[in-house]
Structure 1
Amino acid sequence: MPNTIKIALHGKVFNDEVKPHIKRVVDVLISSKAELIVSELFAEKFNTAFPEYANFDIFTQLSESDEVHYLISLGGDGTLLEAVNYVGALETPILGINTGRLGFLATTPKDKIDKALSDLLNKNYKVDSRALIHLETDSNVFEKKPFALNEFAILKTDSSSMITVHTYVDGEYLNSYWADGLIVATPTGSTGYSLSCGGPIILPHSNNFVITPVSAHNLNVRPLIVSDQSVISFKIEGRSNKFLVSLDSKSHSVDSSIKLSVRKADFKAKLITFDQLNYFDTLRQKLNWGLDLRN
């Protein structure tokens, strides 16, 4: 194990219950001679909670010059999605330690921290490469981060009536969705917002997107699975001229003049996994499959 290993840490607000687990992560890494840097969003809370570690460097966006080997996400799935934004096209492997709630992506539980860090530092892990969705617009809405691990969504604003999303696949007209919105989810995102709107679960390496309407006006409209080699484009209409577009937790208000299309990104998110837990284990545990009093 090299002494020059460099690890980035990212997290959100944490409470007193979580604090000892975060300290444990830092203590183990420091004792292993790892060099640590902390995300800007995490730094203020982190430095207040751990003044003895307040001299760590801070990053706002990782770059090649940072020479980071791993990023550790300390939180829930939302925190890990933010971590993907910090990494971007660098494809730095991300370890998600679940100090939050669901933990569908951040699968390492708090009681497995020591084992996970030992395996990480000794390179005893696997890398699960997940496809990302990339948004192309004529207005540079999301600047340098026009990508998402879970989904792209077009949504009505809170006060407006339903919208119409004219949708095209590889330039061919698919449908006009009268709905509160429309989601295009990756296989990773198929267990998120899309699932709550009636979409199917897609296994991570299925090479597909799923198009899922949000509260469709026509009950005959169903989610549709398409190849992730497709380019999906949209035209939006509604009584209001303002709509929301989102990439995971990032969202912006746009008007109907904007041109929108999505495709698979040219790079992937690389999630660190261990032999103890596979995707089907996660499905059963997080979705409570088989949980029945009769069992």
Structure 2
Amino acid sequence: MKADSGSFDKSYISAWIDFNNNGKFDEGEMATSSVNGKNDNVVLTFSEDAVKNMDKNANYLGARVRIAANADDINQPTGQAFTGEVEDFLIPVEEPPQGSVREDRGKQGQAQTGAPTFNGGDPEVPINKDVASKLIGPNGELTDEVTIEGEGTYTVDNEGNVTFKPEPGFTGEGTGVRVQREDTNGTKVTAIYTPTVELEKIASNNSNSTSKYTVKPGETLKDIANNNNPTIDKIVELNNINTTNYIISGSTIKVPKNAELNNNQLPDTGETNKSSPIWATLTAIFGLSLIFKRKKKIKDNK
């Protein structure tokens, strides 16, 4: 408000607003300030408790402002003051501008963008589109970017669109960020943007995503990969094979289900059960085949 100290270099102001509309000025409904010179801009700040107790059904609230050269003369809403003056008036009650809570969901590692809603409290006092939106930083500062360690970075454009870029390993509900705009009267209003990052689902290596393949004699992992399309690394991953191990012919391994399998049966040796050689082929991962032959002892029943 504008005030004038008159013939004094400095004057004092005390003001009361009947927030609870009980017909009197209570102790907690007072605000004070000083006036320095002519046509001074004076800011009066009332307590949050007084504002919280405001009668929201009232159309007007009673107010009183006193000014004097001596602050002690005007520390009560009534009483004699040797200088200055007093004024009573009615303050119209208007709905303040409001901001919403915006919640978004996205995949792990992917950016999300959303805009909280801001509404002017009075149709004649809309949100000022000429004033850029800002984020409120951790220390109350206004900024275009807020980074939360271990979570990600929030940015905002002039229209209030918030973009959240999560860190690669972050999942779950984010801390969120406050966004500030103002109406054409300069009244500040905040909204909240909260993102949730969903864990990216990785396909499991189960029977639904793999097929069985029988290793043929002399066959290496490289041969299997070349003949059936999966890479050596993929076969090693599916079967938990260590690069220092060997694969055994006749054994069954996993390959990706979409591989073009060429899984022929092992060849028939033509031997009888009296002299049945058992061939065991140990095939090194890097192409070395070692062949061993042993004869099965047959008990003579004669």
TM-score, normalised via structure 1 length: 0.21
Bigger-Rg structure (1/2)? 2
Q: TM-score, length-normalised on structure 2?
A: 0.21
> Which one scores higher on RCO, CA 8 angstroms, separation ≥ 6?
1
Higher helix fraction: Structure 1 or Structure 2? 1
